[in-house]
Structure 1
């Protein structure tokens, strides 16, 4: 079942890339394993998936311990991170997808023993239920991170509304792409900002068309039937 689902997702990635003449190798598939146990996640690892994501600190630590024999896994924390939990998780992840405040960045700086690859979370849709800074705050926020040597801004992240139409979703993703290009053009060593984390099970083909380099897929990989 999982192998079939993975094949389908990979096909959709290839088809979406073909529409805009992109190389599928430029899109990293992150398997969001929050809804499954470690044994199920391990099935994906055995199928060649090396990027796994969780949105909760405890669940990520639990899965990382269970799958410790696989040294090639990159671990992504994609959920909101409370400052009091930074100490327990920050040195166990490879990517953090939800940097949304200076105080959180300062806590990461304080607790990390290495440079942490971070995506700044942008709330483009303006939904109150979503975390993230506004597009207008991005430039000043990036400059505020200049002296934090352990915070390495690899890119930007956003989420589109679950029930939005395709045109609205593409507009949100296109806006994030423009913001990413703006920060990338500054050529800041601490914030190369070359990556885009956007697109989930319901909208990753649209995200790829608009330039996503990391897509976060869970439901489409683990659905039954």
Structure 2
């Protein structure tokens, strides 16, 4: 017989698995990571990554105060934009971008975090001029040894920044990277450390108009390490929205 005076079992009263609670838990982890290295949590932006998630999930996140959302594919942005016009969403492209998708980015996105080659910059410049728009961009740098990872060769960063200074519609705001996919936290941290050091070095010689204050690094599985190494923006998908049921 159950003892009516016994303390309740925590397993019988779990914290509800809601988006609001998941976000609160992430923010608490951000706070703790900042505290470990003496940073202000206000310095770290949380970017929800809504790729593969539907309109209802995005609307729920909007109701919780978010209006910037990361997406990998311009096709998804094109599909979601018409049904979410009332939400005043700013779309951030975070996936590797083919040059022939520059038209969609110029029309629909407010920011691109995966700029990694001159050919793409030129295509974006042409399309943005036609649209009469400009967008913020981050340069994606390859700091992982994995061949599958995209990004600019770190050795070419300074030259690339010099080239980007000529483009009027591309507002360079910082750098982005993806860490090595490994359980080895030392290896993961090294990817983030490398980007921060590259940024610090590049900032000393950055041409006029090029800003490098932002470091977009860290995802659901490694964002605390990224924050400890200087990330100013973490890109979080499944830890906010739950497990994906569609392929990425």
TM-score when normalising by structure 1: 0.94
SS of the counterpart of 1:67?
Answer: helix
Aligned with 1:76 (options 73, 92, 95): 92
Between 23-32 and 143-152, report the one with greater CA deviation. 143-152
- The residue aligned with 1:23 is 40
Question: What SS does structure 1 have at the residue aligned with 2:188?
Answer: helix
Tell me if structure 2 keeps the 8 A contact 1:29–1:51: no
1:132-171, aligned counterparts within 5 Å?
Answer: 132-171=151-190
3-state SS, counterpart of residue 69 of structure 1: helix
CA deviation vs aligned residue, 1:163-212 (integer Å, no higher than 9, x gap): 24111111110110011122222353331111001000000011011111
Give SS of 1:68's match: helix
Residues 165 and 208 of structure 2 are in contact (CA less than 8 Å); yes or no, is this contact kept in structure 1?
no
* Residues in 1 aligned to 2:187 and 2:145: alpha-carbon distance in whole angstroms: 13
Question: Structure 1's 51 and 150: CA in aligned 2 closer, same or farther, altered over 3 A?
Answer: same
Structure number, greater radius of gyration: 2
Equivalents in 2 of 1:50, 1:64: separation in Å? Answer: 13
For residues 79-158 of structure 1, the aligned pairs below 5 Å read 79-112=95-128, 113-158=132-177
For 1:100 and 1:198, how far apart are their aligned partners in 2?
15
Is 2:162–2:207's contact at 8 Å kept on the other side of the alignment? Answer: no
**Residues paired across the two proteins, number:** 223
User: CA shift at 1:49, angstroms?
Assistant: 1.7
Asked whether the 8 Å contact 2:141–2:152 carries over to 1, the reply is yes
So what's the TM-score if we normalise by structure 2? 0.86
Deviations 1:1-39 (A, max 9, x none): 111111111111111111112111111111001131011
Give 2:55's match in structure 1, choosing from 34, 38, 41: 38
Unaligned runs of 5+ in 2: 1-17, 244-248
Q: What is the CA distance between 1:223 and its match in structure 2?
A: 2.2
Match of 2:77 in 1: 60
Q: Cα deviation per residue 1:53-95 (whole Å; 9 max; x = unaligned)?
A: 1100011122232221122x33210011111111122232121
The aligned runs of 1:167-182 (5 Å cut-off) are 167-182=186-201
Matched, 1:194 2:213: yes
How far off is 1:103 after superposition?
Answer: 0.5
**Cα RMSD, aligned residues only:** 1.4
CA distance in 1: counterparts of 2:220 and 2:210, whole angstroms = 28
CA distance in 1, matches of 2:145, 2:135: 27
